[in-house]
């Protein structure tokens, strides 16, 4: 049974395997509390067909707390930074995640078709808010519905990886400059 219409959501997604090379996966392994950093996953279409809707899922920005009295055990280790935007003439803020690639799927961003030989970079700007060890895991997909499967060059499983590191409990040294807007690293 389908809600809100007769057509299945996955009806238009191409079926098959699409070769993807990961050309870049970077995130600082050593960080400090309140430090801004950037996660970047760069992918290239290594095949001869257009990937229908290249997507990346990232896990590890949050962790599960063992505190039993919490209504929601999910807690942030990193928070997505905001970027100022204007929507309908009014100032607003959006998450500093791959722009225009938002989906309804948790921790998944899809940036549309990717032609053969072309590259796409997925970037997230985050701030560390909890000290300790972390593991960021990511995986690439060819679409959102499971019919278009991303495979590594030469076939095999979907491209995936992880980045392990630690966040020091010492906050980065910074201050707001005399202009009231500029953040300056270090002391006066």
Domain that includes residue 59, residue range = 12-185
**149 neighbors 142 (Cβ within 8 angstroms):** yes
Its pTM stands at 0.82
**Assigned domain for 131 exists:** yes
The enclosing domain of 34 has a CATH number of: 2.60.40.10
Per-residue model confidence as pLDDT tens digits over 45-58: 999 999 999 999 99
Please state the domain count of the chain. 1
Q: Is residue 71 left, alpha or beta, with left meaning phi > 0 and alpha meaning psi from -120 to 50?
A: alpha
CA atoms of 107 and 61, how far apart (whole Å): 9
Task: Look at residue 186 in the predicted model and tell me its pLDDT.
Answer: 63
Residue 155 has pLDDT above 90, yes or no: no
């Amino acid at each position: 049974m389908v809600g809100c219409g007769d057509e299945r959501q996955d009806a238009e997604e191409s079926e098959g395997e699409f070769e993807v090379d990961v050309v870049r996966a970077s995130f600082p392994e050593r960080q400090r509390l309140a430090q801004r950093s950037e996660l970047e996953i760069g992918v290239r279409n290594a095949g001869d067909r257009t990937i229908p809707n290249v997507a990346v899922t990232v896990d590890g920005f949050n962790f599960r707390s063992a505190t039993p009295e919490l209504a929601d055990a999910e807690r942030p280790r990193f928070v997505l930074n905001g970027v100022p935007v204007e929507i309908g003439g009014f100032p607003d803020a959006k998450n500093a995640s791959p722009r225009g690639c938002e989906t309804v799927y948790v921790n998944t961003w899809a940036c549309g078709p990717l032609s053969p030989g072309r590259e796409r970079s997925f970037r997230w700007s985050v701030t560390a808010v909890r000290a300790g060890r972390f593991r960021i895991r990511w995986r690439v997909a060819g679409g959102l519905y499971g019919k278009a499967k991303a495979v590594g060059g030469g076939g095999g499983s979907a491209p995936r990886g992880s980045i392990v590191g630690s966040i020091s409990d010492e906050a980065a040294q910074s201050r707001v400059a005399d202009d009231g807007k500029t953040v300056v690293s270090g002391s006066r």
